Amino acid sequence: MMDENQVRTIVAEVLKHIDLHGRIKSGSIPCGVSNRHLHVSQADLEILFGSGYALKQMKPLSQPAQFAAEETVLLVGPKGSIEKCRILGPVRPATQVEVSTTDCYKLGVKPVVRDSGNTAGTPGCVLVGPKGAVTLKEGVIVAARHMHISAVEASKFGLKDMDRISIKSSGTKSVIFNNVLVRVSDKFALDFHLDTDEANAAGINNGDMVEIVA
Amino acid sequence: MMDENQVRTIVAEVLKHIDLHGRIKSGSIPCGVSNRHLHVSQADLEILFGSGYALKQMKPLSQPAQFAAEETVLLVGPKGSIEKCRILGPVRPATQVEVSTTDCYKLGVKPVVRDSGNTAGTPGCVLVGPKGAVTLKEGVIVAARHMHISAVEASKFGLKDMDRISIKSSGTKSVIFNNVLVRVSDKFALDFHLDTDEANAAGINNGDMVEIVA
């Protein structure tokens, strides 16, 4: 049998993390640091790598069915180029390049912060592969930081799709990121996605844990 | 004569910015975004640029007597190099290289966050100038973000030297930077110094205004 003190200790510990309505008050969220990468359409993939080409999976990503491909391309902008930008699979309807603000300055394109898929009016760049080059008219974005979460976990956290939350990192370079977009889907694994500038500013490494603070 | 409503409006507006003790509650602080740079000793300057060499001022910096020099060097690390890293003057007793975490990964050195001058045990790198090269045993740091403020302004803000504060940027990429070191001196102009990773993470450009929030 547990004595009363043990019960009190356990209840106090649980209440640190769950409110009286059973919702998680502050949970640890793993960070996924996104290095520069691109998603490609099948048509663009074939221009870059040859007719009938299929992406080769190098390793799976934290989100189900997503993977880092073996294939990389050269990004070229008006002021500079970046080698070995990795393609993430599977192929998508439209090609989209996701870079950091630091990368934008290197390429010489304006850093435009967008949610994935919302690329109208964004800068373009040239992609160069072993079999050809694609001139993108638009599609170069600095992906807005966001949190992936399943519907079950979202209800535990009291969150719904398209909510905006604040997320805090710990340590010497502790930062609170405001305006983090919440994306809820049963296809999603719990993950706070941020770019390398954001990770470096906060002293975050891939897989580190952060907290929801508001 | 002002009517009572006008007086109320003005008092309310003033109280937004100054508390009942006359201290500024939330003031706007200009940002100084530090791109990678180095400070050099006279001895190292002469190895890099020749015997008896003196730095040439290109433009003054926001802090009194500090300047960006015309001279740049090549930084070389175990994994890569970075061209045209600018020297800031005047010369100092010890050579110190201040880079972003992004730069550390490019050079292949561990990113070590330090306050300026505290370089014991930090990584080194090779500096190459037109007349010679210097192998630094240590002195490559990611400078900890900090705020410069004069003694008069510090007392208005209710701050003292070595305090730690939180500073918030506005906009889509709003971030709160915790653990910002306060440095008070009558030689200082009001300035929040952060590196390019931090500025890019928060959507801050040089000269943008931020707020003290705690």
One domain for residues A125 and A77: yes
One domain for residues A47 and A77: yes
- The answer to whether residue B20 sits within a structural domain is no
- The answer to whether residue A9 sits within a structural domain is no
- Give residue A179's identity as a one-letter amino acid code: N
Q: Do A203 and B179 touch (CB under 8 A)?
A: no
pLDDT number for residue A36: 97
pLDDT number for residue A5: 75
- The answer to whether residue B123 sits within a structural domain is yes
Which positions in chain A touch B202 (Cβ < 8 Å)? 201
Tokens coding A123: 């800068």
- The answer to whether residue B11 sits within a structural domain is no
If one counts every other C-beta atom within 10 angstroms of the C-beta of residue A50, the result is 12
End of a domain among A91, A115, A143? Answer: A143
pLDDT number for residue B110: 97
Cα distance between residue A104 and residue A81, in whole Å: 10
Cα distance between residue B64 and residue B77, in whole Å: 32
pLDDT number for residue B187: 86
- The answer to whether residue B14 sits within a structural domain is no
Identity of the residue in B175, B176, B197 whose CB atom sits nearest the CB atom of A200: B197
End of a domain among B143, B178, B194? Answer: B143
CATH number for the domain harbouring residue A179: 2.40.40.20
Identity of the residue in A113, A197, A201 whose CB atom sits nearest the CB atom of B172: A113
Interface test with A, best of B175, B181, B206 (most A CBs within 10 A): B175
Which positions in chain A touch B197 (Cβ < 8 Å)? 102, 196-197, 200-201
End of a domain among A120, A143, A166? Answer: A143
- The answer to whether residue A198 sits within a structural domain is yes
Which positions in chain B touch A174 (Cβ < 8 Å)? 178-179
Q: Taking a C-beta distance cutoff of 8 angstroms, is the pair A33, A194 a contact?
A: yes
Interchain CB contact of A119 with B (< 8 Å): no
Interchain CB contact of B100 with A (< 8 Å): yes
One domain for residues A183 and A202: yes
Q: Taking a C-beta distance cutoff of 8 angstroms, is the pair A136, A94 a contact?
A: no
Cα distance between residue A126 and residue A136, in whole Å: 6
In angstroms, what CA-CA distances link B5 with B2, B15, B49, B162?
8, 15, 67, 42
Angle CA A110–B172–B154, to nearest 5: 105
Interchain CB contact of B172 with A (< 8 Å): yes
Beta strand A146-149 pairing with A175-184:
parallel
Who contacts A105 (Cβ-Cβ below 8 Å, separation ≥6)? A79, A111
One domain for residues B58 and B150: no
- The answer to whether residue A110 sits within a structural domain is yes
One domain for residues B126 and B171: no
Interchain CB contact of A58 with B (< 8 Å): no
- The answer to whether residue B44 sits within a structural domain is yes
pLDDT number for residue B16: 56
Q: Do A200 and B203 touch (CB under 8 A)?
A: no
Residue with tokens 């930090």: B122
Domain enclosing residue A88, as ranges: 35-143
Total domain count for chain B?
2
Tokens coding A206: 């891939």
**CA-wise closest residue to A174 among A205, A209, A202:** A202
One domain for residues A109 and A158: no
Q: Do A178 and B178 touch (CB under 8 A)?
A: no
One domain for residues B41 and B131: yes
Interface test with A, best of B112, B200, B204, B205 (most A CBs within 10 A): B200
One domain for residues A137 and A149: no
One domain for residues A54 and A136: yes
Which positions in chain A touch B100 (Cβ < 8 Å)? 102, 200
Is the torsion defined by CA of A38, A170, B104, B92 positive or negative?
positive
One domain for residues B103 and B190: no
| pLDDT of chain A, 214 residues: tens digit per residue | 567 777 777 666 655 555 555 445 456 899 999 999 999 999 999 999 999 999 999 999 988 899 999 999 999 999 999 999 999 999 999 999 999 999 999 999 999 999 999 999 999 999 999 999 999 999 999 999 999 999 999 998 899 999 999 999 999 999 999 999 999 998 888 999 999 999 999 999 999 999 999 8
Coarse DSSP helix, strand, coil percentages of chain A, rounded to the nearest 5 percent: 20, 35, 45
One domain for residues B45 and B111: yes
One domain for residues B50 and B130: yes
> Which residues does chain B have with pLDDT short of 70?
1-2, 7, 9-27
